[in-house]
């Protein structure tokens, strides 16, 4: 599993002009899923995302998590995070899971984040052509790959 996590002051996702998810202060999480991902990856990544200390405390130091700030999370599936660009100029997405595998894992990640955060997580629609808008705060952008555990 691969995640791009952006600290935002606002973010939203729409499909065909209809808003499907919207948050204010919190994290936009773009999530890529591959066939080798398991419940262990979900548990580890959800805990890591919710507890990442990337929000400023009263001293201006990044020492607070989204949970500490009572912020929100917007989770958006993004198979292109597993693009392979080694050969040629057309990316290959062979490592990205097909919907039959990815959808249940995406739904489990949504549930894990909801549980760990203690409130519902906003989402896009898996597999849809989505328009994502965000106001990156900082900017702060973190990339995590569960296989590397970093």
Q: Cβ(28)–Cβ(96) under 8 Å?
A: no
Is 9 among the catalytic positions? no
Is 82 among the catalytic positions? no
Q: Cβ(34)–Cβ(79) under 8 Å?
A: no
Is 79 among the catalytic positions? yes
Q: How far apart are CA 9 and CA 48, in angstroms?
A: 20
Q: Which of 20, 78, 110, 146 is catalytic?
A: 78
- Could you give the count of Cα atoms lying within 13 Å of 150 in the half-sphere of its Cβ? 1
Q: Which of 38, 80, 115, 141 is catalytic?
A: 80
Q: Which of 55, 79, 82, 126 is catalytic?
A: 79
Catalytic residues: 78-80
């Amino acid at each position: 599993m691969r995640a791009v996590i952006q600290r935002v002051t606002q973010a939203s996702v729409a499909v065909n002009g209809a808003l499907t998810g919207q948050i204010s202060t919190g994290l936009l999480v773009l999530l890529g899923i591959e066939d080798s991902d398991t419940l262990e990856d979900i548990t580890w990544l959800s805990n890591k995302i919710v507890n990442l200390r990337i929000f400023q405390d009263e001293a201006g130091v990044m020492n607070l998590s989204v949970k500490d700030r009572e912020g929100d999370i917007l989770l958006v599936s993004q198979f292109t995070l597993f693009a392979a660009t080694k050969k040629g100029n057309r990316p290959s997405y062979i490592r990205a899971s097909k919907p039959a595998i990815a959808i249940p894992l995406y739904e489990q990640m949504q549930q894990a984040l909801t549980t760990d955060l203690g409130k519902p997580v906003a989402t896009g629609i898996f597999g849809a052509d989505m328009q994502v808008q965000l106001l990156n705060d900082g900017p702060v952008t973190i990339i995590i790959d569960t296989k590397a555990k970093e």
